[in-house]
Chains A and B, each alone.
Chain A
C-alpha cells in the first residue's frame, strides 16, 4: 500500500496550508542573511540599499576576522578527527553486543548533547586554565571533540545496524578471519556511510559552537562564532552578515551531502 494514500486530498491540502507559514518561519532567517551581507551602507537593513560586495571585502580584509575563521577551521578539523575516532570505535565496539549497562553506557556517550553546555564549558575552562592551554586550537578542538562524538557515534551505530548483520561477523570469524581483518573487510564498508554523515555533522557542531569557545578563548584564540557573538552585542553590521554567509554555505553543503547520502541508502 502506498503511504500517500493516507487521508483525503482535501485534508492533506489543509495540512500543508497550515504547515506553510511554519516553514516560512523556519526559512526566513536563512533567506535574509545573504542579501543582508550585500548591503552597501554601514548600518544593516533590509531590503539593502545597494547591492555591494564591500561587506565581504571588509570581512576578508580584516586580519582579526580571517584569523578567527582559520582558527575555527583548525578547531573543527581537530574536533571532527577526535569525534570520528572516539565515536566510531565505540559504535563498532558496542555493535551486536548485549550486556547489562549497555543502555546506560550509550546514554553516557550521548550525554554531551543534552547536558547544559555551560556546565561542561565551566569545567573545561577550570581544567585548561590550570594547564595554561586557554585560547589554543588544541584545547578548544578537544573540547569540541567531546560534542562531536555522540553525533558520529549515533550515525555510525545506525549505519552498522542497517548494513551489518552480527551473524556476518561470527561467520567471518568462524572462517578464521583475525580481528584486524574483520575490521577492515566486514566493519569498514558498513561504517563508512555513517562515518561520513556523522563527521560532517560533528564538523558543523564544532564550527558553530559558541559557549565552550567563549569560555576557552584567549587573546590569540577567538573563534569565528565568538567574534561574531561579541560583535553582535556591540552593533549589527553587514560585515557580520558576510561572515554569517559562510555558515549558511556550510549548512547548505551539509544538507546536500545528507540528501545525497540518503539517496545512496535507498539505492545501494
Chain B
C-alpha cells in the first residue's frame, strides 16, 4: 500500500514537462525527420552537395574552436581570480561575470557593433592615440564575430573551471609546497592537472554553445562568416525549401549530439571526482 501513493505522483508530476517536450520538441523533430526523408536521401544529397554547407560547416568549426580556446584561456584566469580572492572581492567579480550572462545576446552584439563601427569608440580611441588617421574596419568580419562570441561564452567557461578549483584541498596544495614545489611547479604539476576535468567540461560546453550561434554572425560578421544555423534560415527564408532545411537541421543535430553526450559525461565525472 505504501508504495502505491508514492508511484502515482511521479507520472503526474512529469506529465506537464512530458506534454511540453513531446509537443514542442519530439513531435517537431519527428516531423522534420519525416519531411527530410520524403524523397529518400534526396534532400540530404541536395544539402550536402552544395558548396554552402561545406563553407558554413568549416566556418562553424573554425569559429567555435577559436572561441572555445580564447574563452578557456580567459575563463581560467577569471576562475583563478574568483578562487583566490577574498569573499568581498569574489562577490564583486561574480556580479561582473554574471551581468553579461543576464544581458540579452542581441543587446551585447548591438553594443559591440556600436563599439567596433567606423565611428565607434574603439576607432575613436585609435585615432585619438594617433595610431591611425583613417578608421580601421573592425566590424562585419571574422574578428568581430569572435569577439562577440567570446564575450557571450565566457561565463559558461568560468563556472565549470571554478567548480573544479574549489574542489582542490588546501592541504594538497600545501603538501606540494612543503615537498619543494614553487609557484610554477605547483601550477603545472598539481593545480592544472586537478582542474583538467573542469577545463574539459567548460571547453565542451563552450563549443556546444558556440556551434549553435545564429545572431552574432549576422550582426557582427559578413555574409562569408555564415554558420550552419544561418544556413538553415537561408534555406527557409531565401530558398523556401523546407525539406532541405529539415534535412540540414537533422544533420546539425546528428553532428552536435555526440559532443553534448560527451559534455554530460565530463560534467558528471567532475562532480563525482570532486
Stretch from B11-19, B37-45, B46-54, B194-202 forming part of the interface with A: B11-19
- Give the dominant DSSP class at B's interface: helix
- A 5-34 to B, binary, CB cutoff 8 A, 1 in contact else 0: 111100110011011001101111110110
B: interface residue count bin: 35 or more
Q: A258 vs B74: C-alpha distance in the bound complex, in angstroms?
A: 24
Q: A23 vs B21: C-alpha distance in the bound complex, in angstroms?
A: 37
Q: Does B99 contact A (CB under 8 A)?
A: yes
Shortest CB–CB separation between residue A182 and chain B, in angstroms? Answer: 9
- A 223-235 to B, binary, CB cutoff 8 A, 1 in contact else 0: 0010011001100
Q: Is the CB of B120 within 8 A of A210?
A: no
A: interface residue count bin: 35 or more
With beta carbons under 8 angstroms apart, the residue of B20, B24, B215, B232 that contacts A229 is B215
Q: Does A55 contact B (CB under 8 A)?
A: no
Number of interchain pairs (Cβ within 8 Å): 269
Q: Is the CB of B170 within 8 A of A82?
A: no
Q: Is the CB of A45 within 8 A of B120?
A: yes
Q: Is the CB of A210 within 8 A of B105?
A: yes
Shortest CB–CB separation between residue B173 and chain A, in angstroms? Answer: 7
Q: Does B219 contact A (CB under 8 A)?
A: yes
With beta carbons under 8 angstroms apart, the residue of B154, B214, B264 that contacts A211 is B214
Q: Is the CB of A19 within 8 A of B77?
A: yes
- Residues of B close to A26: CB separation below 8 A: 96-97, 99-100, 151, 154
- Name the residue on A nearest B113 (C-beta): A236
- B 91-111 to A, binary, CB cutoff 8 A, 1 in contact else 0: 101011111101111111111
List 9 extra interface pairs beyond A93-B9, A117-B212, CB under 8 A.
Answer: A32-B115, A33-B111, A46-B120, A114-B205, A115-B253, A118-B229, A244-B107, A251-B104, A258-B98
Q: Hey, which bits of chain B sit against chain A, CB under 8 A? A: 2, 5, 9-10, 12-17, 20-21, 23-25, 27-29, 31-32, 35, 74, 77-78, 80-81, 83-87, 89, 91, 93, 95-100, 102-115, 117, 119-121, 124, 151, 154, 170, 173, 183, 205, 208-209, 211-212, 214-215, 218-219, 228-229, 232-233, 236, 242, 245-246, 249, 252-253, 256, 260, 263-264, 268
